[in-house]
A and B are shown apart, each in its own frame.
Chain A
Amino acid sequence: MLKLSNLKLSKEWILVVVLAVLFIFMSIFAPGFTDSYNLTNMLFQIPELGILSLGMMAVIITAGIDLSITYLAALIGVIIATCLTSGMPIGLSIIIGVITALAGGLINGFFVAYIGVSPILVTLGTMTFFKGVVTLITKGNSISGFPEVYGAIGNNAILGIPLPLILFGAVALIAWYLLNKTVWGRNVYMTGNNPIATMFSGINTKRVLIYVYLFSALMAAVAAIIMTSRYNSAKVDLGSSYLMQSLAVAVLGGANISGGYGKVIGIVLATAIFQVLSSGLNLIGISSMIINILIGVVLLSVLMINFFSSKWESVGKQKTI
C-alpha cells in the first residue's frame, strides 16, 4: 500500500541521505578518503563511539540521560587492566569487568528507579564517583602492558573486517532485538512516552528502568574492552571525550531527549556520519577543532529542524480540523 504520506522521509532515511551525500562529497574532495587505509581506519574508529551511543540512546528513550557512561567505561577498563597486569587470565578479567559494569548500572538504576532522583543528577553523582574511584586505583597514572592476545580484540581483523566492527555489529543487532522484539524493549519505549500510564497498565516500570541502566553499563563494558585493547592502556580519561559525542550521536540519530523515541539504525547511521565527517574533514586539512565546532552545529541544527518541523506539522494539523 503506497500512500503519499509514506513517501515522507522518516528520520532514518534522512540520515541515510545525509550519509550518502557526505560520503560522495568526501570521496571527491578529501584526498585519500576512499583509500583502503583510510576506510579501514574509519571502521576501526566507529565501534567505540557507536557502542557508547547505543547505551546513551537506551537511557534517553526513557527520558533520562547517562552522564556516567564514559567514566564507568573508564572504570571498567581500569579494572580489567589491573586484572590483566596482575596476571589474571583474559576471560576472568573480562568477567570481572562485566561485574563492575553491572554494579555501576545497578547503582544508577537504583537511584533513578527506586529513589526517584532525576537521572541527570544521579549520573552526575555517579560520574564523579566513578571518576574518583578510577583515579584512586590508577593514582592518576595509566596502566598498560596487556597480553598480546588481548590486544587482538581491538586491532585484528577477520577477512578484512575489523574485530571491533564485528563486535559493534553484534552489539547493535542484540540491542535492536532487545529494544524492538522483546517485552522489555517495548516497555522501555512505553515508559519513555508515559511512565504513569505504563505503570497503570501493570508494568513494573522500576524494573524496566533498572534494566535500561544495566544495558547502558554493559555497553560501557564492551566499549571499555575495545578501547583498552586498542590503546593497550587504561587511564582515567579513557574515552572521556566520547561523553558529549555519544549524546550528540544519540540526538542526531533521532533519539528524543524527552523520551519515547530512538532507533538502533539511527545510531549506527549517525555514528557513521560523525566518522565520515571527521575523517573526511581531517583529510581535507581542516583542523580537528573545527570538526568539533561542526559537530555542535550539526547537533543544534538537527534539534532546530525537529522543532520547526513538528511546529509546522501541528500548525498544519490545526488547519485541517
Chain B
Amino acid sequence: MSQSILEVREMSKTYPGVQALKKVQLEVREGEVHALIGENGAGKSTLIKILAGVEHADEGSVFLFEGKPANIQKPIDATLKGISIIYQDLSLFPNLSVAENICKGRKSNKRGFGMVNWNEMRAVAKKTLAELGFDIDVDVPLERLSIAKQQLVAIARAIAFEAKLIIMDEPTSSLSSSEVELLYKVIEDLKRKNISILFISHKMEELFTVADRFTVLRDGEFVGTFKKQELNEDKLISLMVGRALEVVEREETVQGKEMLEIKGLSKKGNFKDIEFTLHQGEVVSITGLVGSGRTELAHAIFGLERYESGSITLDGEVLNIKSSEQAVKKGIAYVPESRQKEGLVLQQSIVKNISLSILKKLTNKFGSIQEQKELTLANKYISTLDIRPNIPFLNTGNMSGGNQQKVVIAKWLSTSPKVLIVDEPTNGIDIGAKREIHKLLRRLANQGMAILVISSDLSEVLAVSDRILVMRKGRIAGELPHHEANQEKIMNLAVLGTHLEEKLPVGSESKGAVNL
C-alpha cells in the first residue's frame, strides 16, 4: 500500500456568516488520481484554496504534506513545497513566453545582478516539455496557444517545480474531446512517475476514466472516501446530492396559453437547434452541465447576444430583439447568473435597484422621478417578498445573498413580465432562502407567469419545475415531465445524452463512512 502524500483532517473554514468547511478530511496517496467531488457550494473550491495557500484554515485543522505539517503561508510556498495547482482559468501570463510561464518563480531562473537566466529557463522548459512528450515551442507567447496547449503548459509548470501533488480544477472545462484524451494520457504518465493528482470535475464520465478514489463533499461536510470499484455513476450522484431531498409542496397550476415559443434557435459555438415552448402558469427548467450552452441561450432570448437562425415567438408575436432594452419592453425579464456582477448595482439602495427597469413609468410630466411612488413600489415588494432588512435605502451590497436575489426578482416583477427567466437563482444562497425562492417561483407561476429556470442544481430543478429540459453540448438532449423526473434520469441525459432505460437499484450510504 502506497504512502499518503497529503493528509487533511478536521479541517474547517469559517467566513463571516458562513461555515464553508466543517471538519473535512481528505487523504491523497502517492501516485494516485484522487477525485474531489460535490455540488456547487459543497466546499471543494474552499478546500483547494487552502491547499494552495490562498486561504488559511481555521485553528485546529490538520494539514499534513509528506507526513509533516504543511505550514503554507503564501501560494508560492505551496508551489515550492511540491503542491501545484492548475486553476480553472489556468492563472498563467498570456503575454509571456511558454518557457517563462513554466519557470516563473523558480530560484534558478536568476543569475547575478538581477539578470534572468534565459538559457536555463528555456532549457528547463524544453526538458520538462520533452519529458512529458509535449510538442510546444518554448519561445511562443502563451496567448498564441490554444487553451488545451496552455493547459499542458500549466502541467509542465507543475512538473518543472517537481510537484508531488498536482491539483487540477475542472481541467477539461474548455477542452475538446480529443484534447481531453490527450490529458488522460498525460495523467497516466504522471501517475507512472509517482505523482499524485487531485482532480476536481463535474463530469462523471471523466471521473470514472481517470480517478482511483473519490472523496465526496456535501454542504461543506465530508461524506466519504470511496474506491472506484465501489461506485457507479448513480451511486456517486446520490452521494453528492444526499438523500434528504427537500420537497416543495406545490399546488397544481393551471396551464394557460402558449407564451414563449423557441424554434430552431442556433448560434455557432453556443447552442444548436433549440426548440421548446413555455406556457402561462408553467415553470420549465433547463438544466445540464456547466458549459452546455444554457446561459448563452438565455442571453440570446433576452437580447444580450444575437443568434444566427431560428425564431423566438412571444405571446404570438415573432420577436426580433437586438438589446436588453427591447426585451424588457416586450415583457421578458432575466435574473442573471451572477447576482453581484450582473444582477445588482451593489453600491446603490434597494429602492433604486428595484425601480431601475421601470423608472420611466414613475416620472411625472416634467420627466421628474416621483420618489414617493418609487418608495411605495419598493416597500410593496419589500413586504410581499419579505426582503430583509426592510430598510428601503440600504445599499444592496450590505445584504445577504438570498435577500439580494429577492431584490433582483422584485426589480423584474415590477415590470410585470410575461416571461421570467431565472439563471441559477439560488447559487450561493443558504438552504432557507433557497426554499423561499423556490416557493416564490411556484407562487408566481400560479399567478399565471411563464417561468424559465436555468439551473445546474438538480434538487432545485426537481423542486420547482413542471417540465425539465436537459441540455448537453449545446443541444437539448431530452425532456422530462416533473412527475417522471429524478436526479438519475437527468444526470443520464446531461452526461450521456440518453434516457435512462431502467431504474438501477441505488444503495444508500450512511454519511461519514469511509469505505476503503
Chain A residues, Cβ within 8 Å of B411 = 201
Contact A321 B341 (CB under 8 A): no
* Known contacts A182-B363, A202-B327, A190 near B368 by CB under 8 Å: no
* Known contacts A183-B363, A318-B16, A190 near B324 by CB under 8 Å: no
Nearest A residue to B368 via CB reads A181
Identify which of A105-113, A133-141, A191-199, A213-221 touches chain B: A191-199
| Residues of chain A from 75 to 101 with CB closer than 8 A to chain B in the complex | none
CA distance A201 to B328 in the complex (A): 8
| Option from A181, A198, A318 in Cβ contact (under 8 Å) with B356 | A198
B336 at the interface (CB under 8 A from A): yes
Chain B residues, Cβ within 8 Å of A194 = 341, 344-347
Contact A321 B17 (CB under 8 A): yes
Of residues A177, A183, A186, A261, which shows the largest number of chain B Cβ atoms within 10 Å of its Cβ?
A: A183
A312 at the interface (CB under 8 A from B): no
A42 at the interface (CB under 8 A from B): no
| Option from B17, B344, B348, B357 in Cβ contact (under 8 Å) with A202 | B357
A203 at the interface (CB under 8 A from B): yes
- The smallest beta-carbon distance between B153 and chain A, in angstroms, is 30
Chain A residues, Cβ within 8 Å of B505 = none
B4 at the interface (CB under 8 A from A): no
Nearest B residue to A199 via CB reads B324
Of residues A183, A194, A200, which shows the largest number of chain B Cβ atoms within 10 Å of its Cβ?
A: A200
| Option from B16, B325, B343, B360 in Cβ contact (under 8 Å) with A197 | B343
Contact A183 B367 (CB under 8 A): yes
| Option from B325, B359, B363 in Cβ contact (under 8 Å) with A204 | B325
Nearest A residue to B328 via CB reads A202
| Option from B16, B346, B357 in Cβ contact (under 8 Å) with A321 | B16
Chain B residues, Cβ within 8 Å of A181 = 367-369
- The smallest beta-carbon distance between A177 and chain B, in angstroms, is 8
CA distance A197 to B344 in the complex (A): 6
Can you list, as one digit per residue, whether each of B185-214 has a CB less than 8 Å from chain A (1) or not (0)?
A: 000000000000000000000000000000
| Residues of chain B from 380 to 437 with CB closer than 8 A to chain A in the complex | 411, 415
| Residues of chain B from 345 to 361 with CB closer than 8 A to chain A in the complex | 345-348, 352, 356-357, 359-360
Contact B325 A202 (CB under 8 A): yes
| Residues of chain B from 293 to 325 with CB closer than 8 A to chain A in the complex | 304, 323-325
B252 at the interface (CB under 8 A from A): no
Chain B, interface residues (CB within 8 Å), range? 20 to 34
Chain A residues, Cβ within 8 Å of B344 = 194, 197
Chain B residues, Cβ within 8 Å of A318 = 16
Contact B345 A204 (CB under 8 A): no
Chain B residues, Cβ within 8 Å of A182 = 363, 367-369
| Residues of chain B from 443 to 476 with CB closer than 8 A to chain A in the complex | none
* Known contacts A181-B369, A200-B336, A201-B324, A186 near B359 by CB under 8 Å: yes
CA distance A201 to B343 in the complex (A): 8
A260 at the interface (CB under 8 A from B): yes
Q: Number of contacting residues on A, CB 8 A?
A: 23
CA distance A190 to B355 in the complex (A): 11
| Option from B304, B323, B348 in Cβ contact (under 8 Å) with A189 | B348
- The smallest beta-carbon distance between A257 and chain B, in angstroms, is 14
Contact A200 B334 (CB under 8 A): yes
Contact A183 B359 (CB under 8 A): yes
CA distance A189 to B352 in the complex (A): 10
Contact A193 B324 (CB under 8 A): no
| Residues of chain A from 217 to 249 with CB closer than 8 A to chain B in the complex | none
Contact B347 A193 (CB under 8 A): yes
Chain A residues, Cβ within 8 Å of B329 = 202
Can you list, as one digit per residue, whether each of A237-270 has a CB less than 8 Å from chain B (1) or not (0)?
A: 0000000000000000000000011000000000
| Option from B336, B347, B356, B363 in Cβ contact (under 8 Å) with A260 | B347
- The smallest beta-carbon distance between A117 and chain B, in angstroms, is 20
Of residues A201, A204, A260, which shows the largest number of chain B Cβ atoms within 10 Å of its Cβ?
A: A201
Contact A203 B356 (CB under 8 A): yes
Nearest A residue to B415 via CB reads A202
Nearest A residue to B333 via CB reads A202
Nearest A residue to B299 via CB reads A200
| Residues of chain B from 1 to 25 with CB closer than 8 A to chain A in the complex | 16-17
Chain B residues, Cβ within 8 Å of A321 = 16-17
CA distance A194 to B397 in the complex (A): 12
Contact A200 B324 (CB under 8 A): yes
Chain B residues, Cβ within 8 Å of A261 = 347
Nearest B residue to A200 via CB reads B342
Measuring CB to CB, which residues of chain A are less than 8 angstroms from any residue of chain B? 177, 181-183, 186-187, 189-190, 193-194, 196-204, 260-261, 318, 321
Sample (11) of A-B pairs whose CB atoms are under 8 Å apart: A183-B360, A186-B356, A186-B369, A190-B352, A193-B347, A193-B348, A194-B346, A201-B324, A201-B357, A201-B411, A261-B347
Measuring CB to CB, which residues of chain B are less than 8 angstroms from any residue of chain A? 16-17, 304, 323-325, 327-329, 334, 336, 341-348, 352, 356-357, 359-360, 363, 367-369, 411, 415
Contacts A186-B352, A200-B324, A204-B325 aside, 11 further interface pairs with beta carbons under 8 A come to: A177-B368, A182-B368, A182-B369, A183-B363, A186-B359, A196-B341, A197-B342, A197-B345, A201-B356, A260-B348, A321-B17
8 closest A-B pairs by CB: A202-B328, A321-B16, A181-B368, A194-B345, A193-B347, A204-B325, A183-B359, A201-B356
